[in-house]
């Protein structure tokens, strides 16, 4: 803790030889451990004597029980704890983050630790074709802090129209004007943002990466040549380009555990239980009265006086609801789960399909450093260890398929030359052939990567249960690029063509930017750079960018909604769902900040209701 106080305030040189050796040992030992990672298919470490137990241990009674300590759950718990009359229980399956997860530049490796649930999709037919078994990885955080412990830390809220459309679906309370004050409340901004759109006193710091790569400067300049402005994408307008806004403090990861729960631990009315696995919400007479969970190998029950709030995330929340009897009737009856409420839980999975197959060569030479030098830079709050996947630049655009003014349906991410990451192949679950075709000959001294993110996909997937065993992992099918009209793949193709047009700009010519040829075995008979070639290539290496939403969507019940505008589950009293799963559709942004906003907003709603 003293080390990080020194790093944050920069009052003295923040490290010595012992500190460097500590981080060298930590990094090397953790990376070595990840080599033995086995992909899980169930939560066996929690099962214990679940099916042998007749009696459950009594864990007491609370005003609020919150299931999951991720983006929303941690925020909500911390804010509710500010009212001393509330007694709160926060239950989390994972453990505390550590000094390794604090290093953003090594987040790929965190996916091969206990901090990731390790989910995968079912085999895909239209995308992820270059992945092993055609299965897309679905990393989700299993930690106090949830996915904010392993995510990419990009602070992108979404577009004004996203929230206004969401608001119209439920007839009130989620418009952009109503949620903007919460986004500002969250932030401690240190970027050149538009006046009136950012906060300065919130728990979540926002910074640019330091230093910025000349390749990113060229990307920004090239777009300006083509008429796009460099702007604050969380400000008045979104379509344009920018340096990325990142949630870190002097290069160190900031999770919701750090931002919200650590300060809230001073409140005696908040009890945080980690390494505890919730199996179901307890419901009687269509009223939630507690939760059942496994703790230290024992079946345990906690009861609630006011409400249960499920904040397990886009995968776990529908999973818990279905095992509690809330879900599609036919699916529950198939596994002999008594039906409490027939709702289309899990049926509205949205994610951002992302094309990872573009790389470019330049005449710029990025300096290479030793591991020790990267560590020293990290402790000084700069360099490759301080940013996830080196995603320094971003852009928002409209394809011909988007007709709403000001609403982007394409995001570009640029990862300039930098530190090599040996975990990238396994992290993306790539076959040897795919990895070799795209990244095998990549030179991280001269080359940079571009990712094309589809923000408004037509393809919709689902999450469902595999059995009536709450320890069996769920079935996840995103159905990427499966829309019958091929709108999704065509939008990605159009975006790819735009990136190629940047090669003609003066800024790119100065760096001698050229496209690196990629040819998959499956695409070898297509004409290079033809539409047929790109369609084939896109399907090989398009997968998710880990922005799933929608599986417990907020909407009117007659339109397939699971929760109403107050986040209350239809047909079940004293039960709410609050996390990214309630977002009715994909945002033109990243869902982490929106999920934190939901926690802030719900805490005010609950205080108003129960403090009156």
Which one, of 438, 15, 407, lies nearest residue 239 by Cα? 407
What's the start-to-end Cα distance of the chain, in Å? Answer: 40
Rg (C-alpha) for the chain, rounded Å, is 23
The answer to whether the Cα torsion of 145, 149, 155, 156 is positive or negative is negative
- In DSSP terms, which residues pair with 342 in a beta bridge? 327
Q: Which of these is catalytic: 323, 352, 507, 547?
A: 547
For the chain, helix (H) and strand (E) counts, in that order, are 19, 24
Q: Is 186 helix (H, G, I), strand (E, B) or coil?
A: helix
Quick one: DSSP state of residue 103? -
Tokens (6 digits) for 434: 């795919």
In the numeric block, which tokens belong to residue 211?
């230093």
Nearest to 302 by CA among 56, 541, 566, 543: 56
Place of tokens 């977002």: 583
- Quickly count: other Cβ atoms within 10 Å of residue 38's Cβ: 7
Q: Is 350 a catalytic residue?
A: no
- SS3 breakdown of the chain: % helix, strand, coil, rounded to 5? 35, 20, 45
Question: What are 96's two structure tokens?
Answer: 């505390």
How far is residue 590 from each of residues 330, 338, 479, 546, measured CA to CA in Å? 33, 36, 20, 9
Closest by alpha carbon to 456, among 551, 381, 549, 352? Answer: 352
Residue 609 CB: number of other CB atoms within 10 A? 11
Q: Residue 205: beta bridge partners?
A: 188
DSSP designation for 589: S
**C-beta atoms surrounding 249 within 10 Å:** 20
Closest Cα to residue 256, out of 6, 77, 112? 77
Output the six-digit token pair for 97: 């983050």
Read off the DSSP letter of residue 566.
Answer: T
Q: Is beta strand 475-477 parallel, antiparallel or unpaired with respect to 462-464? A: antiparallel
For residue 137, the cross-strand partners are 120
Chain-centre distance of CA 520, in angstroms? Answer: 29
Neighbours of 9 (CB within 10 A): 10
267, burial (CB in 10 Å: exposed 0-12, middle 13-18, buried 19+): middle
By annotation, the residues acting in catalysis are 547
């Amino acid at each position: 803790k003293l080390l990080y106080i020194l790093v944050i305030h920069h009052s003295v040189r923040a490290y010595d030889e012992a500190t460097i050796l500590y981080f060298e040992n930590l990094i090397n030992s953790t990376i070595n451990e990840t080599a033995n990672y086995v992909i899980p298919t169930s939560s066996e470490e929690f099962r214990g004597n679940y099916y042998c137990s007749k009696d459950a241990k009594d864990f007491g009674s609370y005003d609020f029980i919150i299931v999951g300590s991720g983006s929303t759950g941690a925020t909500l718990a911390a804010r509710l704890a500010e009212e001393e009359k509330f007694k709160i229980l926060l239950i989390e399956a994972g453990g505390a983050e550590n000094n390794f997860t604090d290093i953003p530049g090594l987040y790929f490796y965190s996916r091969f630790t206990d901090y990731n649930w390790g989910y995968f999709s079912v085999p895909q037919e239209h995308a992820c074709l270059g992945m092993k078994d055609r299965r897309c990885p679905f990393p989700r955080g299993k930690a106090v802090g949830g996915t904010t412990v392993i995510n990419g830390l990009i602070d992108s809220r979404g577009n004004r129209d996203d929230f206004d459309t969401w608001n119209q679906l439920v007839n009130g309370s989620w418009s952009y004007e109503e949620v903007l004050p919460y986004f500002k409340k969250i932030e401690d901004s240190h970027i050149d943002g538009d006046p009136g759109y950012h906060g300065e006193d919130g728990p979540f710091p926002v910074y640019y990466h330091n230093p910025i790569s000349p390749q990113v400067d060229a990307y920004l300049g090239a777009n300006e040549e083509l008429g796009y402005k460099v702007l604050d994408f969380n400000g008045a307008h979104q379509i344009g380009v920018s340096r990325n806004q990142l949630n870190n403090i002097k290069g160190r990861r900031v999770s919701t555990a750090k931002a919200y729960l650590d300060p809230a631990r001073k409140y005696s009315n908040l009890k945080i239980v980690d390494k505890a696995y919730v199996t179901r919400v307890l419901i009687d007479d269509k009223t939630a009265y507690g939760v059942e969970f496994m703790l230290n190998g024992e079946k345990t029950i906690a009861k609630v006086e006011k409400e249960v709030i499920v904040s397990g995330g886009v995968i776990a929340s529908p999973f818990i609801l279905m095992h509690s009897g809330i879900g599609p009737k036919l699916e529950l009856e198939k596994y002999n789960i008594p039906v409490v409420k027939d709702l289309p839980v899990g049926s509205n999975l949205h994610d951002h399909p992302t094309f990872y197959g573009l790389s470019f060569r330049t005449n710029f030479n990025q300096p290479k450093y030793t591991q020790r030098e990267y560590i020293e830079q990290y402790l000084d709050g700069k360099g490759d260890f301080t940013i996830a996947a080196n995603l320094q630049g971003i852009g928002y655009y409209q394809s011909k398929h988007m007709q709403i003014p000001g609403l982007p349906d394409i995001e570009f991410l640029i990862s300039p030359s930098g530190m090599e990451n040996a975990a990238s192949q396994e992290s993306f679950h790539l076959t040897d052939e795919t990895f070799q075709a795209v990244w095998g000959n990549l030179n991280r001294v001269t080359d940079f990567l571009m990712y094309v993110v589809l923000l408004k996909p037509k393809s919709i997937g689902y999450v469902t249960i595999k059995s009536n065993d709450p320890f069996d992992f769920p079935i996840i099918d995103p159905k990427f690029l499966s829309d019958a009209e091929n709108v999704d793949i065509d939008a990605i193709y159009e975006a790819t063509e735009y990136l190629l047009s940047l090669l003609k700009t003066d800024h790119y010519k100065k760096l001698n930017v050229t496209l690196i040829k990629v040819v998959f075995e499956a695409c070898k008979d297509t004409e290079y750079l033809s539409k047929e070639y790109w369609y084939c290539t896109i399907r090989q290496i398009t997968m998710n960018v880990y922005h799933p939403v929608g599986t417990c969507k907020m909407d009117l019940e007659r339109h397939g909604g699971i929760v109403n505008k107050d986040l209350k589950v239809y047909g079940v009293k004293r039960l709410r769902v609050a996390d990214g799963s309630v977002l009715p559709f994909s945002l033109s942004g990243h869902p982490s900040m929106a999920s934190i906003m939901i926690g802030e907003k719900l805490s005010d709603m609950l205080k108003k209701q129960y403090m009156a």
